[in-house]
């Protein structure tokens, strides 16, 4: 458009194709501009109202819906997590209680078993002590009897050596008497 020199001059353009005054105020072109403007505005209006605006508003409301849903889901998950944590804590508490109960029971059982064993041991010990006592008294009796016979023998030998006559009955009586005294 710049190279045109044969532009037919009009009220707004001079013979060289330059503007005379302000082209914006030239009424020669007004009809042309208004005609194309109306067509353009109608075209834009139809493109917008039929295609663009319903689509964009649908997309925006859909996005809003998705965001709301996601937020609600997140809220649900959060409350579930809190519940799970509470359940876990409760389970832990229960287990701790259970464990302390088991420990208590085990302690009682062990004590009972220990008591029984101690009693049994005590009984064994007393039986053995009695037996030992018996053995000791047996031994003591034997020892006494031996002492008597020894004393009788030694005394009768002494009497014989001194030239006396041994009266067995009297000897026994004397010895018994001495041993008691």
Distance of CA 82 to the CA centre of its chain: 17
Does 47 sit near another protein (CB under 8 A)? Answer: yes
Distance in angstroms (rounded) separating the CA atoms of residues 84 and 90? 10
Task: Using the minimum distance from each CB to another protein, give the nearer residue, 74 or 144.
Answer: 74
Distance in angstroms (rounded) separating the CA atoms of residues 91 and 79? 18
Does 76 sit near another protein (CB under 8 A)? Answer: no
Does 73 sit near another protein (CB under 8 A)? Answer: no
- Tell me the window of 5-13, 104-112, 127-135, 164-172 that interacts with another protein (CB under 8 A): 5-13
* Residue found by looking up tokens 């109202």 in the block: 49
Does 24 sit near another protein (CB under 8 A)? Answer: yes
Does 168 sit near another protein (CB under 8 A)? Answer: no
DSSP state letter for 21 = S
Task: Using the minimum distance from each CB to another protein, give the nearer residue, 60 or 105.
Answer: 60
Task: Using the minimum distance from each CB to another protein, give the nearer residue, 12 or 151.
Answer: 12
Distance in angstroms (rounded) separating the CA atoms of residues 107 and 110? 5
Does 71 sit near another protein (CB under 8 A)? Answer: no
Task: Using the minimum distance from each CB to another protein, give the nearer residue, 66 or 126.
Answer: 66
Say if residues 179 and 147 touch (Cβ distance below 8 Å).
Answer: yes
């Amino acid at each position: 458009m710049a190279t045109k020199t044969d532009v037919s001059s009009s009220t707004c353009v001079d013979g060289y194709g330059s503007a005379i005054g302000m082209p914006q105020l030239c009424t020669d072109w007004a009809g042309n501009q208004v005609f194309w403007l109306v067509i353009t505005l109608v075209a834009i209006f139809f493109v917008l109202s039929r295609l663009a605006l319903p689509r964009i508003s649908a997309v925006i409301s859909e996005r809003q819906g998705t965001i709301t849903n996601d937020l609600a889901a997140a809220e649900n998950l959060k409350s579930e997590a809190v519940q799970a944590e509470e359940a876990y804590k409760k389970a832990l508490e229960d287990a701790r209680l259970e464990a302390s109960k088991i420990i208590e029971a085990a302690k009682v059982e062990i004590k009972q078993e220990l008591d029984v064993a101690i009693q049994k041991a005590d009984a064994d010990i007393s039986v053995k002590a009695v037996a030992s006592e018996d053995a000791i008294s047996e031994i003591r009796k034997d020892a006494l009897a031996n002492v008597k016979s020894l004393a009788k023998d030694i005394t009768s030998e002494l009497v014989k050596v001194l030239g006396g006559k041994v009266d067995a009955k009297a000897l026994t009586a004397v010895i018994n008497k001495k041993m008691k005294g």
